[in-house]
Amino acid sequence: MVPSPQAFTQPSVTANTQPSYNKCLQVFTRLLTRVQQVSQLQNRQSRQFRVCRTAIIPESPPEPIDHSSIPSHAFWTANAVVNPSTGTALEYSELKLGKDSKPWLEAASREIGRLAQGKQPGMPTGSNTMHFMDNRDLPAGRRTTYVRIVAAIKLHKAETHRIRFTVGGDCIDYKGKVSTPTADLETIKILLNSTVSTPNAKMLTADTEFFYLGTPVDRYEYMRIPAKDIPADYVEQYNLAPLVHNGHVLTEIRKGMYGLPQAGILAYNGLVKHLALSDYTPVQHTPGLFRHATRPVAFSLVVGNFAIKYVNRIHAEHLLSTLWSLYNITTDWTASIYCGITLKWDYVARTVDLSIEKALENYLDKSPKRPQHAPHAWTTPLYGSKIQLTPTS
């Protein structure tokens, strides 16, 4: 808070000191005026931005700039949807209004259908992870959180345009344990080495679909979704218009969902209980590593991705049948890639080569058109008007 000159009590002065005092007061008044101007300018600048919990985002999109002036590595954000003019990642709110909006709106509609009660036609049922509800039915004393919509392009997936509705976890007041055991890189490399060191052993990989979804939560959570972000066909099919309150629709989360702090540990605990019925148990003191009590099968787990070491295919199929009874999974019997690492197996020579060539393809194929001496794209700062803070006379 900037004080005013009147806030200071005038000291007693004499005729000899009056001119000097007046001059000092004039200088001090001008200085305070300058400080107030700076404070007002900062306030105006702060109102031009909206805080989005983890980032400060301008209200208006940046002006398009020449594509050639951006170094190629500005477009290397993994899986993100990048604006070719600015090199910035685009949000769903921009994608749904762009010229290629149709696949993104369809992806959003599929995502809501999966999380809720399906979508006609083609998806008669959903996971029942969330249920739309009237705002007046929110239990007393419960907080609501926001939705974070993530857009990505997955060229190696069946659905190349992907939309994920995630929970704003920072607004979830959950008192239980949320950390989830997962295999680290050292554990994965040891498992790979064990595979080539064990006679007749091989490896396959399996990927569970929607690993975090489907596990019942021990306490329901509540989330508000902006009505403008729900595709019109879904609003019409489920008659959501009467549920709109202050521009949002309230949902009740009944199962694990991306972004929910407890989703990971709940899904992990559910998997451990399910595997225990078939004698698969976690290895003590090694997070993310499992083995069977009698069968020659061991595997690592990283967020729903399995690297499975086995001897004899029949034992591997036993584990897959166990997983299939709980999840929809896809398998790769060649184990060509795991956690972004490309694997080249030679079961005759008993070797495996690891590389990240797939991740480096974009980096190696693109080189800057001009020398780039910084590890990131340079953004030219925009300076405001200069303000003289000291008197000139």
**136: Cα separation from own chain's centroid:** 30
Q: What is the pLDDT of residue 109?
A: 84
Strands 351-355 vs 341-346: parallel, antiparallel or unpaired: antiparallel
Q: What is the pLDDT of residues 60-102, one digit of tens each?
A: 444 443 434 433 333 333 445 665 555 566 777 777 777 777 8
pLDDT for 21 equals 57
Q: Alpha-carbon distance 228 to 115, whole Å? A: 18
> What pLDDT score does 40 carry?
58
Low-confidence ranges of the chain (pLDDT < 50): 1-15, 17, 45-79
For residue 310, the model assigns a pLDDT of 96
pLDDT at 39: 57
Using CA atoms, how far apart are residues 12 and 14, in angstroms rounded to an integer?
A: 7
Share of the chain above pLDDT 90, in %: 30
CATH topology assigned to domain 185-213+262-361: Alpha-Beta Plaits (3.30.70)
Strand, coil or helix: what is 271?
helix
Q: Please, which residues have CB within 8 angstroms of residue 379's CB and are 6 or more apart in sequence?
A: none
What separation in angstroms does the CA of 182 have from each of 264, 265, 392? 10, 10, 64
- How far, in Å, CA of 100 to CA of 103, rounded? 7
Residue 171: count of CB within 10 angstroms of its CB: 14
Instruction: Look at the pTM and tell me if it is higher than 0.85.
Output: no
